[in-house]
Amino acid sequence: MFNGDKLYMLPSVTPLQCMGFVLAGKGDVLAVDGGTAAETDQLENLLLSLGGKVTCWLLTHAHFDHIEALIGVLERGNVEIGRICYQFPDSEYIERVERQENRTARAADLENAIARRGVPVVRPQKGQWLETGHFRVLPLSDGSAVGESLNPSSVVYRVETSGESVLFLGDMDWRAEEKILREFPEELRCRVVQMAHHGQQGVTEKFYRHISPQVCLWPTPEWLWNNDIGAGFDTGPYKTLETRGWMEKMNTVNYHFENTVTVIE
């Protein structure tokens, strides 16, 4: 699928949902988000096994389940990071819409860790290609605030590999999709897509049909995959089964969290 490159999807170590991906090939390593603090060990071990150097690290948004593992990697200092690409809304906005001190504090902790390590920061420029070794990255949004929720501020990245392209949606939801559909209708079409907001309550079926994926990457633990918070299959409040139904109609190949890192070639 990726013509010699490999894509790694990291599972959650705890019952919490999280998101962490790594693309590697031709000596280049591209990381996307990372997970919670609990995923730090497995993420660092994977990166060290790939040579201990990350060409570029992409962040979609500031939620703790996407950035804490990167904070841990930065604080340990065992992995060399060429640059980090991200753009969050300002801290006042995050504090207002999140109303959870730990999430606001973790965004500040990330920025402090980046500064202490002296890693260069690149701000995603919507519609402008970013060269990261042989991988090419096209941001389709710029991290601007959308409404009163952090999820739709997610930066959407299209990553060109040696083979198929991958579309990373982060936790984007329906509130951001019409603008991206209008601005980047062709660039959104991708055979491989990371399912928005862990595959539940993200973007609409219309949006996925426009993307027209053949392979779907679900950063989704088993309980969320089955919408089971303890009372049985599809008894929880989440929309995962609805999203799964959309993908079944599109005949996609679906990868969700296993007990170990999922490797796709």
Is 119 within a domain?
A: yes
Domain of residue 48 covers 6-264
Is 155 within a domain?
A: yes
Number of domains in the chain: 1
What's 186's domain CATH number?
A: 3.60.15.10
Amino acid 176: pLDDT? 96
Q: What residues contact 143, with CB distance under 8 A and at least 6 apart?
A: 61, 86, 87, 88, 89, 124, 153, 154, 155
Amino acid 98: pLDDT? 85
Amino acid 101: pLDDT? 64
Is 117 within a domain?
A: yes
Question: What is the full per-residue pLDDT of the chain (265 aa) written as tens digits?
Answer: 999 999 999 999 999 999 999 999 999 999 999 999 999 999 999 999 999 999 999 999 999 999 999 999 999 999 999 999 999 999 899 988 888 766 677 899 999 999 999 999 999 999 999 999 999 999 999 999 999 889 999 999 999 999 999 999 999 999 999 999 999 999 999 999 999 999 999 999 999 999 999 999 999 999 999 999 999 999 999 999 999 999 999 999 999 999 999 999 9
Is 245 within a domain?
A: yes
pTM: 0.97
pLDDT digits (tens, 9 = 90+) for 49-82: 999 999 999 999 999 999 999 999 999 999 999 9
Amino acid 105: pLDDT? 76
Is 1 within a domain?
A: no
Is 10 within a domain?
A: yes
Residue type, 49: S
Is 109 within a domain?
A: yes
Residue type, 205: E
**How is 111-152 classified by DSSP, letter by letter?**
HHHHHHHT--EE---TT--EEETTEEEEES-----BTTBSGG
Q: Between helices 64-76 and 101-117, what is the axis angle to 10°?
A: 30
